[in-house]
Structure 1
Amino acid sequence: MGRLDTTLSLDFLKFNTRTDESSSDFESEIDPQIELLIKKVEKLHSLNDGWMGYASAAPSAGALTGAAFFITCMLRPDLPSPDIFPCPNGNIQLEWSCFDIDFEVEIESITQYYTAFEDLASGESWEKALTYDLSEVRAVLLKLVERKSATEDRPTLVHG
């Protein structure tokens, strides 16, 4: 059975779906860090079934598209970059492990996400399957930005 062509590119971002008047060229607004993350997802397209042993599936078209969509819609340039890797079930996972937060988002499609969150500082943790409402994901991502910012704002101590 041949594999569907799931070639990704930034071409889908050329369509201006924004409603504000301040942006006439959405593509020009793509931050280089976001573009780099999209390229990492694009590279996963080259994996075939069996990439990690007999039972591992190649990343699905839904997962590849969903990951690119998630990155462009949910991530910000001031957010720490996630690790991106394929899952043996054909999904794609984004993972952050920094600033006392462990956060995983496994993407099956544009509308299907499996998430796991642990805040080592507060002890809060949860695992959830999410669809259209990603407000909890956005809250965790904002918490990562806040902690990164707080770390960068600390004065550097010089010993000498």
Structure 2
Amino acid sequence: MIDKNIFRKTEAILYDYNNLALRIDLLKAEIKDIEETYQGCGAMSYEERTQATNKFNSSVEDEIIQREKELRALKLDLNNKMKLKRRIDAAIQGLKKDEERKLVELRYINKRPLSWNQIAYVLKYSQEYCRKDLRKSAIKGIADTVFYNPYRQERFGFL
């Protein structure tokens, strides 16, 4: 039996699958924009001097450091999202039954998810069997792959 919390999180991840692919593309574009954009030098600012300091970095250095921090955070986020998408894809392909794969595709992956009646009609099973038994076994199979790594327990940042 699967924990209710993990069941819900797995369903939420599957419902959000199409948005995940879109977010990956947007992150790639944002990283490319940041890498191509460079402000450079600006006007020198004359501020009131308060105390002598040993700080010897310029506005250009500050900008580069800030940009590198932002790029590192975006690349980490992109990496996590790509890893999650690969795990979801592998989990769906690794489902034991073709009916489970088809159910996941029809209910969660399609841009317009089908109702349980429509899914039952396509799979040629009863609505109750699709909604209760087939769905639970498919979600359990996906959750086992997405949330578990035999070498280390790894949770994704958004969970």
Give the TM-score of the pair, scaled to structure 2. 0.24
Which structure exhibits the higher relative contact order, with contacts defined as CA atoms closer than 8 Å and separated by 6 or more residues?
2
Which structure has more strand as a fraction of its residues? 1
TM-score normalized with structure 1 length: 0.24
Larger Rg: 2
The structure carrying a bigger helix percent of its residues is 2
